Structure 1
């Protein structure tokens, strides 16, 4: 069975706890730790859940907020039902294969040809 994983990046919440109101407030602390990102990149990092993140950026954010990496995001995983391909014929034991049946060619005759 497949599992679907959903996650929530909690940078906005950690910023609020630290008294940071704007994504620009992260520019200087990140630069102090050797991470140079543009304001738009930091805004996307704060406002959206990133698909991928550099380990250096994650470590810098953990250092800025004094939290562990597990505190930076929450996740849930759920079992997902997979759809089975529907087939007109079962496993082959219930009904013979349709390919085995061939139509009989029809012959049309005139009554006088009999």
Structure 2
């Protein structure tokens, strides 16, 4: 899913940097990479998407975030994994849904 999303976003004109895991993402940020949006899965083996976003925002205050997951929004929010109102794109999603949601998050809609 990551590969398809990366290619779709590139085709839409976005500059995309992909990391294989949360630690690699943080290393990229520590190396000076500046990004406008963090698009991450909610559930990952080494670190949650929420924890990744918290650590990324320590490096880039105000960084916008978009999460994706195969779980329902209710399951994620009610289990305390994400805060209500968090930008979430449920899986599976279409390229059009991805494009729309990324634009909304970047524009603050």
Question: Common fold, TM-score beyond 0.5?
Answer: no
- TM-score tier by shorter-chain length is under 0.3
Higher relative contact order (CA 8 A, sep 6+): 1
Specify the structure having the higher radius of gyration (Cα). 1
> Larger % of helix: which?
2
Using structure 2 for the length normalisation, give the TM-score: 0.25
